[in-house]
Structure 1
Amino acid sequence: MKFGLFGGAVLAAALITSNVALAETRVTYKSAKSTSSYYQMAVQIAEAMKKGSNGDIILTVEESQGSVQNVKEVAARTGNYVFTTPPVLVKLAQKGKAMFEGKTNPKYDEIRALFPIPSLTMHFVMRADSDVKTFDDLAGKKLLIGKGSFGAREGAKYIKLFGLEGKVNIANVELGSSVAALKNKQIDGFVTAGSYPAPNVIEAAASTPITLISLTDAQVKETKRTKLMIPSGTYQGVDVATETTSLPVVAYTTTQMDDATAYELTKTYWTQKAEMGESHPWWNAVSGAMLANVYGKLHPGALKYYDEAGIEVPDALR
């Protein structure tokens, strides 16, 4: 069979196209609701992966209704499935507890960690003229905690935990109204959970002087959450460090992902993180030390990168 010049050119082009397609690694990244900061982070990671790998890694971001759904989808997903979740949900899934009771699946044991992303950080934001410095000072104050979110649940939990139930006037409005309500002195403060620096807290600090309530070590221990320090100067006018709590969030995959892909994903994430932080400061809060918050085992490909980079890995993750 003779191709001629034209046929040979077509064949060569087809082979080149085929090689490009084979070189491209496609990954599904299951994130959060499209309106959340974590979906924004997913888009930023997708852009960073494409840039950092010269187009060899293509992340397709999928919206999610939450972390529980992300974990449950492990049972049905194949291939390069990456998802974000607080590590505690991986623990519950593997042990068949809480929302996973009676719904265990052997595929949950195949979950492996890649890298930490910004934590959900609790903020108790107060107007500076409210004179609230500690939780005890909240008695008699009007506080907006929102509805249905992690921050709203944690805020209500802390109010009860620290003996303030019935002593704090809870504003019955949505969190989206918090900045305007604070500025107009309709509330004394609001509670929000987001990776710092949180956009709504930045906005609040720009419109009115604020302070942040700092927890004591004993209070942090009582919440059973992870301690986190928000550095001084993170928010306008807040020139002291704030001790608060956080819910770590980690990007996981499964053993179906090959070691080379896991290695490249992890390496590209960390090498692009500084650049991401230049335009989106919440990435600056992420460090290798946050591996201490991971539950389960690291993917062998990710572990290879951490060992090469000299990032300390807890023995339990190996």
Structure 2
Amino acid sequence: MKNKTAIIALGLCAALVSSAALAETRITYKSAKSSSSYYQMGVQIAEAMKAGTNGDIIVTVEESQGSVQNVMEAKSRGGDYVFTTPPALVGLAQAGKAMFEGKGDPKFDEIRALFPIPSLTMHFVMSADSGVTDFAGMEGKTILLGKGSFGASEGEKYLKLFGLEGKVNLAEVELSNAVPALKNGQIDGFVTAGSWPAPNVIEAAASTDVVVLSLSDDQIAQSKRSKLVIPAGTYNGQDSDITTTSLPVAAFATTAMDEEAAYQLTKTFWEGKATMSQGAPWWNGVDKALMANITTKLHPGAIRYYQEAGFELTADQQ
């Protein structure tokens, strides 16, 4: 009798363990290089998911070499895969255009958005001593663009668009050295892209007087990027709003993801955003307005949350 009772007890324990294992959802979140702010965001999202679901959703952050790689891996990953990329890249992948030409795959049509994250925001940071207050004033100055990043390629594009190609001196310095180079007068300014407030811009503004340039509406239209306003007071000495451009970024999954998992991920993200903002101000830049930048279809689980929460969705998103 005792043996039979023990066997029943063991069976119940095994069932409970099995049930707990089934209740736990494991997600791989592929973000960016481990040194980037976007990787840090992934870590914050992982912590928020664990706390917000009492451990029912466990997110593992995986380093990435960039957004194109993230999209490409959607072809071979399963329902536990979440990745970040600009919505525009998803559209290019689904159309087989640009960097995805000749690399198309039916799996790309199964990509679905979950929620927006901080946009890649352009910052044109000039030392106050340079006297530069607009793009025209950059002529003859020494500017650091960096290499191989979105900010570098976008900065180069803007110099061409605004008639400054060949009229500025491009510094051969790594972007990681931008702040000391600016402080020491080796450069007059630098270009960087990332979430706002940007850590390197905060550092620059704290160590020397800087001016972050604003773009005119005409310049923004020429750039074909989204307009973004960085509120006054974001950086030390910044007395007025900064009008600049941004490239929207969002978190995506595929239709292989379970609807309930997508629902819980989306719900927990929005409900945990205020707490994340306390430790990292860049989350303050994420609000309902950023939903307009998601130009692809949302995951059915995400749609369920947005409808419950009273978000207005476009026809394309549904």
- Pick the TM interval, shorter chain: over 0.9
1:57 maps to what in 2? 57
1:31 maps to which residue? 31
Number of matched pairs: 318
Q: What SS does the corresponding residue of 2:247 show, helix, strand or coil? A: strand
Distance in 1 (CA, whole Å) between partners of 2:2 and 2:254 is 48
CA distance in structure 2 between the aligned counterparts of 1:164 and 1:103, rounded to whole angstroms: 35
Task: Give the alignment's TM-score, normalised by structure 1.
Answer: 0.97
What is aligned with 2:92? 92
Q: Counterparts in 2 of 1:181-200, with a 5 A limit?
A: 181-200=181-200
Could you report, residue by residue, the CA deviation over 1:225-259 in whole angstroms, capped at 9, with x for unpaired residues? Answer: 11111111000101110110111101011111121
Aligned-pair CA distance for 1:2: 7.0
**Higher mean Cα deviation, 17-26 or 268-277?**
17-26
Question: In structure 1, what is the equivalent of residue 8 of structure 2?
Answer: 8
The letter for the 1-side match of 2:135 is F
Deviations 1:170-203 (A, max 9, x none): 1111011110011111111111001000100000
What CA distance in whole angstroms lies between the structure 2 residues aligned with 1:93 and 1:164?
32
Distance in 1 (CA, whole Å) between partners of 2:317 and 2:159 is: 35
Alignment match, 2:230 = 230
> Is 1:255 equivalent to 2:277 in the alignment?
no
- The aligned amino acid for 1:48 is A
Aligned AA (2:294): V
* 1:293 counterpart residue number: 293
Offset, 1:305: 0.8
* 1:227 alignment partner, SS class: strand
Q: Distance in 2 between matches of 1:125 and 1:20?
A: 51
Match of 1:105? 105
Query: 1:119 is paired with a residue of what secondary structure?
Result: strand
Query: What does 1:118-267 align with in structure 2 at a 5 Å threshold?
Result: 118-267=118-267
Secondary structure of 1:315's match?
coil
CA deviations over 1:73-122 (Å, ceiling 9, x no partner): 11111122111101111011100111111111111111111000000000
Matched, 1:17 2:17: yes
Structure 2 contact 113–299 (Cα < 8 Å) conserved = yes
Instruction: Report the AA paired with residue 223 of structure 2.
Output: T
Is the CA contact 2:79–2:255 (under 8 Å) kept in the aligned structure 1?
no
Unaligned runs of 5+ in 1: none
Q: Secondary structure at the match of 2:193?
A: strand
Segments of 5+ residues of structure 2 without an aligned counterpart are none
Distance 1:288 1:315 in 2: 16
State the alpha-carbon separation in 1 of the partners of residues 3 and 129 from structure 2: 83
Taking the aligned partners of 1:34 and 1:186, their CA distance within structure 2 comes to 28
Partner residue in 1 for 2:40: 40
Q: Which amino acid in structure 2 is aligned with residue 301 of structure 1?
A: G
What's the secondary structure of 1:123's corresponding residue?
A: strand
Corresponding position: 1:75 with 2:75: yes
Can you list the C-alpha shifts for 1:268-311, whole angstroms capped at 9, x where unaligned? Answer: 00000010000001011001111111121111110111111112
Shift, 1:5, TM fit: 4.3
Q: Distance in 1 between matches of 2:130 and 2:165?
A: 19
Query: Structure 1 residue 7: deviation in Å?
Result: 3.3
Is contact 2:79-2:258 (8 Å) kept? no
| Runs of 4+, deviation exceeding 4 Å | none
* Residue type at the aligned position of 1:25: T
Residues 233 and 240 of structure 1 are in contact (CA less than 8 Å); yes or no, is this contact kept in structure 2? yes
Deviation at 1:54, TM superposition (A): 0.5
Equivalent residues of 1:145, 1:170 under 8 A apart: yes
The Cα shift of 1:315 comes to 2.3
What's the Cα RMSD here? Answer: 1.2
Distance in 2 separating the partners of 1:18 and 1:3: 22
Are the counterparts in 2 of residues 228 and 246 from structure 1 also a CA contact under 8 Å? yes
- 8 Å CA contact 1:289–1:312 kept in 2: the answer is no
Q: Alpha-carbon deviation of 1:16?
A: 1.5
